[in-house]
Structure formats: C-alpha cells, structure tokens
Chains A and B, each alone.
Chain A
Amino acid sequence: MTSVEPAGERRIALVDLLDRVLAGGVVIAGEVTLSVADVDLEHVSLRTLITSVSAIEQQDRRP
C-alpha cells in the first residue's frame, strides 16, 4: 500500500464503500457454499439504497 493510514482512520464515504462491498468482492455460488451465501443482493434495490444513504449522509453533514 502506498499510503500508510492506521486502520479506522481512512475517511470512507459510505456510497463509495457500498459500491465496492455490495457489487465487488468474490461471490461463490454452487455446491461449495450453501444457504445464505446465495442471498441475492439485487433484492435490496442497490441504487435506491445507495441514493438514500447519500441523502442521510448529506443531512448529517449540515450544521
């Protein structure tokens, strides 16, 4: 890693994080994983969710 930042001090916007952990990362389906690993995150209406999260964060930032 090029920049040294102690864990927990990275300034991460939630929308940027959700872009990655909801749509990125390894997904394994099939025999090897059973049960909840097959939860389909599309049911969560991702863009609507991320949009709502953005709105909440914006409200939190107002003085």
Chain B
Amino acid sequence: MAEETGVWLYAVTRGQITARLTELRGVGGEPVRSVKADDLLAVVSSVSLDEFGETALQRNLEDLDWLAATARAHDTVVNAVVRAAPTVPFRLATLYLGDERVRGLLVGYHDELGAALDRLAGRTEWGVKATADPDAFTLPVQQPAAAPAGGGAGTAYLLRRKAQLAAAQDGERRAAAIAEELHTALAQMSVAARRHPPQDPQLAGTHAWMVLNGTYLVDDPSGEDFAAAVRTLEANYPGVRLELTGPWPPYSFASIGQVRE
C-alpha cells in the first residue's frame, strides 16, 4: 500500500525553481520541488503523513528536537528562495493534501500573493532586541537613618521592601518608555515594523529585562544605515543593550489580505 503523503509548503515566488533549490534537503530530509500555476511558483516538499499528518504534527510540534530541526530546515529552504527572488514565506506546518490543492491556492490567491510579492521585493527583515540592565534603571532605595517613630524592625523592613518594589516598577516603566522610543526610531527607518512578545530574559543567564523584541522590514539599500543606526541608538541609551538579528526572510510581514493571522 502506498504511503500517504502530504505537501509541505515553504514559500511562494515567481518564475522557475532554481537548480540550487532542487539540490536542497528540506523538512524531514525531503527533496525540494515546485508546483506552478501561471506566473506563481510554490516551493514544496512531499512529506509522509506518518510524520506530518495532523495527529503526528500536533505531537511532533511539542518535541523540541523535532521542532528545532524542522524549523531550521523550513528556514533554510525559505532563505534559499528569498536569495533568488522576491518571496512570500509561509508559516511553519502549512500542508496540503496534494499538488492540486497547492495549485488551487496559487490560483485562488493569485492577486493577493502577487501584491505581497511586490510589497516584499527588495526588502529584508531585521530583528532588534533591546534588553535593559535593571541595576541601571532601578534607583537605589534610601535607608532610613532611624526606625520610623512608633514602629520596629518589622515595619522598617516592610517600608523598605515597598520602596524597593516601587523603585523596580518605576525602573521598568522608564525602560519600557525607552523601548517605545527605540521602536519608533527604528520604525521610522523601516517600511514596516512589528513587535513580537518579549523573550524570557532569565533564560539568557542574566536578570536583564527584555523591553523590545522588534522586527523591521527595511529597503535593502538602507540595510547598512539601519545597522549603523542600531549601534548609534545603543550608544545613546546607557543601560540598554541592542542586539541586531538577521537578515531574515520577511516572515513577520507576510500577511496577504483578509487572511487569519
């Protein structure tokens, strides 16, 4: 009995598939190929539904090793497509039951995909993460010279603790305000800008606050200026570290019309 297969969709572009792409291995170690309809080209791999069917997928997506390998394979292919031509990346785990369904997508969404390709052409996504040093933002709490009148060590402790929490909250507010300024400045240099949820800073091995997990669509000729601006901004904001990531395929800006995100 033939194994049940599905079609994993990496991205949509125009033109022909390149020889380089067909040499790549994608998700599940599968070869990369394409499905064509009119001027649009879907870059895909055939995958086994034993591993990529709905039930298996739900299970595998919760397996960190599988998720990491699959995400990297997806991105390797998407990145290769982007390097060759304007490309609309698809979300991880976009599968179809056959090539005809993929062709149906290309036909049914032809205009929207074309508009997205035109919007993303010549543009690159860059990430900027800002982390604030709590020690730089939290003003030290003054120790009282003497115990408060009518109170003992317990009261003094509680008052000090309350003051420390207030100082930390105040520091967080000021750091968040700076993140807003940074995002606004970076957005002004970009065609489009988005904020992802902050990543947990404790896992970076520090107690730093991640105040911005921004991502920016930048015209390619402005890429170097954007990187330089990130360095300048970091110099202008003591206590804040900026990390530039990329270049990324334009995942964060790949919406097409009235699509559920």
Contacts and interface: CB of A to CB of B under 8 A. Distances in A.
B252 interface: yes
A14 B95 contact: no
Interface of A: 1-3, 5, 7-8, 10, 12-29, 32-37, 39, 41, 43-44, 47, 49-56, 58
A42 to B, nearest CB: 11
A44 B71 contact: no
B246 to A, nearest CB: 8
B89 interface: yes
Given A1-B82, A12-B72, A21-B91, A37 B224 contact: no
Contact of B245 (A2, A13, A25, A29): A13
Contacts, number: 165
11 contacts: A2-B247, A10-B247, A20-B252, A21-B91, A25-B94, A26-B255, A37-B94, A44-B62, A47-B197, A49-B62, A49-B64
B256 A26 contact: yes
Contacts of A47: 197, 200
A17 B72 contact: yes
B171 interface: no
Contacts of A32: 101, 104-105, 108-109
B124 interface: yes
Interface of B: 6, 12, 52-54, 57-58, 61-62, 64, 67-68, 71-72, 74-76, 79-80, 82-83, 88-97, 101, 104-105, 108-109, 116, 124-125, 127, 129, 196-197, 199-200, 203-205, 213, 215, 220-221, 223-224, 245, 247-248, 251-256, 259-261
Given A32-B104, A33-B101, A25 B64 contact: no
